[in-house]
Structure 1
């Protein structure tokens, strides 16, 4: 592969990772929103699960941003940057049923999985073995969150 092709591949990977980072922040805030507002007979279980998931999601953000920087590009810089890049939709509803919360978060985590698979392919094209490898861990975590949410549905 020519140097220009690798440079373009790394730029495409950085763009993909920044989009993924925006979705992680959107998912983090939505998960915390639902954590704060969940109610019903399974309150304690859902409240704790969502808090655990939010912490896991937030912990990943630094790693994603650092992969962008290690490839020589800039990571997200602001809330506006997140809004421009996120594909996960916000939920500003005054009230959301607990099961609807879990279903929505499950779908959002599956969106993360799809974006991770796209980024993994780009990492391979860019010859970025480190990003390619760590994406497997991030994918496993997102699939586990989606599974827990699905299994918790009433």
Structure 2
């Protein structure tokens, strides 16, 4: 995580090396949270049962599809800053705040865990947002704003499912 890619020329985008490293580190945590939430959502999609199977199965598919696109966007931003994006389960496990699920919970517990996961991603993004402002990194700030908006809306929709 955060290692400089020695195969490329120096990055000169108007953000100093230390700030770019802080940005890449924050984005790496966001990537780990997003990927962990993707995996959990996909797992729940495969294993949901009960009277709301069809609607939850479809909802979870929509969510993990969106998350799959997001992980690519986040990883590509890390690369644009000149750093290597994390990509192993061990790195993600070390960086994430989204806990793994043991066993197969019931449908309502799945929804509650996804609410908590969506909110965890928002907190991670919000936590390092000040770094983007201090570095005047508008592209990363824009990415964080978009991610927070998606995750807050998704958490709201999931909470509405709980009643």
CA-to-aligned-CA distance 1:15-70 (integer Å, 9 cap, x gap) = 01001101111100100111111111111000000010000011101110111111
More helix by share: 1
With the length of structure 1 as denominator, give the TM-score of the two structures: 0.91
CA-to-aligned-CA distance 1:72-129 (integer Å, 9 cap, x gap) = 1111132222122112111021x31111110111011001001111232211122211
Distance 1:77 1:48 in 2: 27
Structure 1: runs of 5 or more not aligned: none
Distance 1:114 1:132 in 2: 14
Q: Structure 2 matches for 1:41-80, cutoff 5 A?
A: 41-80=51-90
Structure 1 segments of 4 or more deviating over 3 A? none
Distance 1:151 1:10 in 2: 38
Pair 1:13-2:23 in alignment = yes
Pair 1:128-2:145 in alignment = no
The SS at the match of 1:45 is helix
With the length of structure 2 as denominator, give the TM-score of the two structures: 0.86
